[in-house]
Structure 1
Amino acid sequence: MKLMLFIAIIFSASMSVHAAQASDKTKFTFEDLKNLAKTSAGKPYTPPDVPVPELIDKITYDQHWKIRFKEDETLYPSGEIAPVQLFYPGRYFPEPVKIFIRDSNNLVQEVPFSNALFDMPADSPAHALPEGFGYAGFRVMRPGMKPDWVSFLGASYFRTDGPQGQYGLSARGIAINTGMSEPEEFPRFSAFWVGPAENNSEDLSVWALLEGPSITGAYRFGLTKDNKNAEGHVTSVTANLYMREDVERLGIAPLTSMFWYSERDKTVAKDWRPEIHDSDGVAIHTGSGQHIWRPLNNPKLVSTNSFFDKNPKGFGLIQRDRDFNNYQDDGVFYNKRSSAWVKPRGKWGKGAVQLIEIPTKDETFDNIVAYWVPEKPAQKGDEFTFSYDIEWRELDPISKELARVTNTRQGLGGIPGQPIPEGVNKMVIDFEGAVFEGLDRNSGVKPIVEASNGEIIEPIGVYPVVGTNQWRLTFDYKQINENPVTIRAYLVNKDDKAISETWVSDATVTIK
């Protein structure tokens, strides 16, 4: 019966006694959403109301994931290609979110919240939640109700499971004052309008209203599964932003991930697994065409790095290490975690890709954030529009004429068998790429290594690694004072042409 209903009506959503009737449809365009956000920015911020916070707090993490949206209540705003299911609220997602279904004629109707739409254990505290409370978000299933591939859940967070079907890092609608002394602000998507694809390459289109103390926004998301050109899912984003208050640090296209430790320095953790991270580096393709790789750290204090640029071509948080043996985790499969690559549309002007690293002692908290900060300060009354694609890939795109960094290792300085020099560490960087084909030790490959606030100690070695298609760069360094050494390194050929991306890192003498 439900199949007949969603075929019979214009916009394909499964219907039930709890769903709004066709007479409840109203006309609502994206321009209406922009006007709504702009008008809201001119008014004082009103925090969302959580009607029964003491009850919501009882719905713990474990209890929350036992509550499932009923399969026969699934929504089909874009037909069977992208079934949509809704998330129940809980302790970690307490603020109610409105969900609307939109048809191709921009006629919309709300999906009223009801416990009858969910299956839950008999002893779940959620049974006492009042009707009409509100959802936490939604997810998009594969055809045939196979596993979901994209979800929007909590604040302005969203993510996909990437090309290997394993969720990892997340994206956000906006980042406000991240990594600063004052508390970070977390605006949220308070309402979604989910509808059919707005161009032929997409599977689903989503509009969202962003609301926060300092900002409002009207967002359009185009969701595409398994895009062949991007080698994974693609989320196309247009963010129309309206400043309610001045913001010191406005983060555009933010990505959020987790990094505990890697092969570089395992002394920060005592876990049995060799490495634990959702991402192992930030990659940047600058407006001038340079490719930069910055391996991630788990610092002792909050660390901020800014990579100044003009009209960037792309940046992302990347999981390059894909070898299961380097993780040995057959539960959450860190080797399968997706990378996310932000590809700006249009010219973004001057600004910086900013990387925030926050100390962590385990793998349960996201401690890495990367985003674009415009040069122009964000002040009350300002309006901005940014458009970009997020490509959920295995690896970041890079020219075949350049080798990419595959490993960064750090250890004691000096030469084995000789006295260990005081206050000196060794850095070992492995590069891999087709550009090395046919090259050997006599081909004139040369290292370029530069440091500020530190000293690079000769000799600097570069050579092919026996039995592999990699080349290895090794050098010792020491600090001048207690501040980290900033090191920049890359490889050139005999004609002094760069044949690798540029490795950049802050380094301290941590192994003694």
Structure 2
Amino acid sequence: MNRFFLGVAWWRARVSARRFGFSPMEGRSPHRPRSVRRPTLHLLAMLGVLAGVSHAAEFNFDLLQQRARETAARPYAPPVSRVPAWLAGYNYLQHQNIKFDHDHAWWKKEKLPFQLQFFHPGWLFKESVQVHEVSGGQEKLIDFDPALFHYGSNRLPEAVPADMGFAGMRIHYALERSGAMSELAVFLGASYFRSLARGLHWGLSARGLALNSGGPDPEEFPRFSEFWVERPKAGAASITIHALLEGPSVAGAYRFVITPGKETMMQVKAALYFRAPPAVVGLAPLTSMFLHGENTGWSKNDFRPEVHDSDGLLMHTGAGEWLWRPLNNPALVRVSAFADASPRGFGLLQRDRDFLHYDDLEAHYHERPSAWVEPVGDWGRGSVRLVELPSPDETNDNIVAFWTPEKLPAPGEPLVFEYRLTWFGDAKGRPPAGFVASTRHGAVLDHPDRRRFVVDFDGLSLPKGVTDPEAVVTVGDGAKLIGVGSVQRIGPTGRWRAVFELSADGSGRPVELRCYLRGAEKALSETWSNLWTP
């Protein structure tokens, strides 16, 4: 699964703290007006013809969708790398020597509210992308130029091709304070992208599309091969980015409208055209890292109590139920599917914001963003899938979550979908009632065949007349509940603790567990969902 990570060692917090850069150069337009063969045409008529050509070439999502449709109608051709072999062979340190000249950030001289910077190809990023600026509906290619970068101690054996393109791009904005530009979003590698909200550090990522992730067939990684960034107006609060997705099985058009703030919102629209239907299609995929946490026990080889970018998968079902699944670092690949119809939302959250629970001065795990997917329109029937991969350390993104539709469109028909992707720190309102604050389990003294689970809930609002909520515990095949679960209030924190014990049947098969708090015949909390392997 290493190709899934796509340079995640570089992406991880410690490495991504290093900065790259780029600068603007005047681009060339790939669309030239048709020649006028009749010089005797009246000037006004000629201007009318040119105006018609300009209007026909206006760039928008519909035009990009048409290009994606035409791309999918042709046999897939693997991308031809424009990156010279000597540059593609750079190692990590050589690649890190290449720095972008921040003085040339795109739109910096114009003092626009958003700026662009580019990543240099090489090392893990051997396939370049083309980036266009869109202004007044017209697209203009942003040319690669080595003058945009500082190469440090590297010596270039030959000229870098002018048409090479970039490895990716990042968007800067005054996210933390007025006048101080900082990173807002990054698009780099395959269809990966990620973003920040105010006061947060880099953490989990998203993807345009996941194909066969956790499925029986080899995973496919389609890539954003071209970007079109709309030039923002002075004082603009949002920036719009379009992208063309290409892969062996699919071509697609994407639009991202990014609005930064305390919660950064991405309005995402996509249209996919499949050449052949993959076994597993994952929409709005999120990818993260979980090494160990309070639910897995403190690692004997790590001084930090917890190490993760996200600690759980939250789902809001079409029926209105909120489900919380703590993440795990399993011994073997584990895939869970949560069937649903018309989902209201799902996301990977970093709920635990207590620094002492991580005790890491460098990684800032307590300040990693959460990401929430909220469908626009009815996504129909399908399932939220969670893929958990074993990982020996924190350099691997080993968690994937996405929506899989039950049915795909007929051949030739597009799969069009839209969603809001929110990057945030404070999980207030998700869910609006009680939520799981921690999950722990351990051995039971004098009963080696049993396991005790301790689930803490926070944010409860008790109905009038209810002083002690009850725990509703459901145990799937493979184990049985011993007695009934007990609930106690934790005085120092104000939380409520549900405790119950299980006895496995000896088969060793994973057991599905559920627990929520109830009072006056009403659910007072989200539902804790866990997969326990005895």
What is the TM-score with the length of structure 1 in the denominator? 0.88
Q: Give 1:90 shift.
A: 1.9
Equivalent position of 1:146 in the other structure: 181
Deviations 1:294-345 (A, max 9, x none): 0001111111111111111110000000011010111111110000000111
Contact (CA 8 Å) 1:186, 1:212: kept in 2 or not? Answer: yes
Deviations 1:159-200 (A, max 9, x none): 012332301000000000001233210000000000135999
Q: Give 1:264 shift.
A: 1.3
Return closer, same or farther for 1:400/1:160 CA change in 2, 3 Å cut-off. closer
1:96 partner amino acid: S
> Are residues 1:95 and 2:88 paired?
no
> Are residues 1:474 and 2:499 paired?
yes
Return closer, same or farther for 1:306/1:326 CA change in 2, 3 Å cut-off. same
Equivalent position of 2:337 in the other structure: 306
Return closer, same or farther for 1:377/1:317 CA change in 2, 3 Å cut-off. same
Equivalent position of 1:69 in the other structure: 100
Equivalent position of 1:6 in the other structure: none
Q: Give 1:289 shift.
A: 0.8
Q: Give 1:380 shift.
A: 4.3
Map of 1:345-494 to 2, 5 A cutoff? 345-377=376-408, 380-396=411-427, 398=429, 402-414=433-445, 419=446, 421-436=447-462, 443-453=467-477, 454-480=479-505, 481-493=507-519
Map of 1:17-416 to 2, 5 A cutoff? 19-20=27-28, 27-52=58-83, 54-76=85-107, 80-103=112-135, 105-123=136-154, 129-143=160-174, 144=179, 146-196=181-231, 202-226=237-261, 231-266=262-297, 270-377=301-408, 380-396=411-427, 398=429, 402-414=433-445
Equivalent position of 2:532 in the other structure: 507
Return closer, same or farther for 1:244/1:396 CA change in 2, 3 Å cut-off. farther
Task: Identify which range, 470-479 or 319-328, moves more after superposition.
Answer: 470-479
Return closer, same or farther for 1:159/1:460 CA change in 2, 3 Å cut-off. same
Q: Secondary structure at the match of 1:424?
A: strand
**Where do 5+ consecutive residues of structure 1 fail to align?**
1-12
Rounded to whole Å, the distance in 2 between the matches of 1:22 and 1:125 is 29
Deviations 1:362-417 (A, max 9, x none): 00010000000001046643411110011001244546762110100111124xxx
Contact (CA 8 Å) 1:247, 1:377: kept in 2 or not? Answer: no
Rounded to whole Å, the distance in 2 between the matches of 1:137 and 1:501 is 39
Calculate the aligned-residue CA RMSD, in Å.
2.6
Contact (CA 8 Å) 2:516, 2:527: kept in 1 or not? Answer: yes
Number of residue pairs matched by the alignment: 483
Contact (CA 8 Å) 2:94, 2:154: kept in 1 or not? Answer: no
Return closer, same or farther for 1:145/1:467 CA change in 2, 3 Å cut-off. closer
Return closer, same or farther for 1:436/1:124 CA change in 2, 3 Å cut-off. farther
What is the TM-score with the length of structure 2 in the denominator? 0.85
Rounded to whole Å, the distance in 2 between the matches of 1:75 and 1:192 is 14
Q: Give 1:145 shift.
A: 5.7
Task: Identify which range, 136-145 or 364-373, moves more after superposition.
Answer: 136-145
Return closer, same or farther for 1:330/1:15 CA change in 2, 3 Å cut-off. closer
Return closer, same or farther for 1:459/1:259 CA change in 2, 3 Å cut-off. same
Q: Secondary structure at the match of 2:68?
A: helix
Return closer, same or farther for 1:196/1:380 CA change in 2, 3 Å cut-off. same
Rounded to whole Å, the distance in 2 between the matches of 1:345 and 1:199 is 29
Q: Secondary structure at the match of 1:435?
A: coil
Equivalent position of 2:4 in the other structure: none
Q: Secondary structure at the match of 1:91?
A: coil
Rounded to whole Å, the distance in 2 between the matches of 1:383 and 1:482 is 44
Contact (CA 8 Å) 1:256, 1:369: kept in 2 or not? Answer: yes
Q: Give 1:31 shift.
A: 1.7
1:424 partner amino acid: R
1:130 partner amino acid: P
Rounded to whole Å, the distance in 2 between the matches of 1:437 and 1:276 is 37
Q: Give 1:426 shift.
A: 1.1
Equivalent position of 1:3 in the other structure: none
Contact (CA 8 Å) 2:23, 2:102: kept in 1 or not? Answer: no
Return closer, same or farther for 1:212/1:168 CA change in 2, 3 Å cut-off. same
Deviations 1:176-230 (A, max 9, x none): 000123321000000000013599984210000000000110000001110xxxx
Contact (CA 8 Å) 1:202, 1:222: kept in 2 or not? Answer: no
Rounded to whole Å, the distance in 2 between the matches of 1:36 and 1:224 is 27
Deviations 1:68-101 (A, max 9, x none): 2222321129962111111111222110100000
Contact (CA 8 Å) 1:436, 1:469: kept in 2 or not? Answer: no
Q: Give 1:130 shift.
A: 3.0
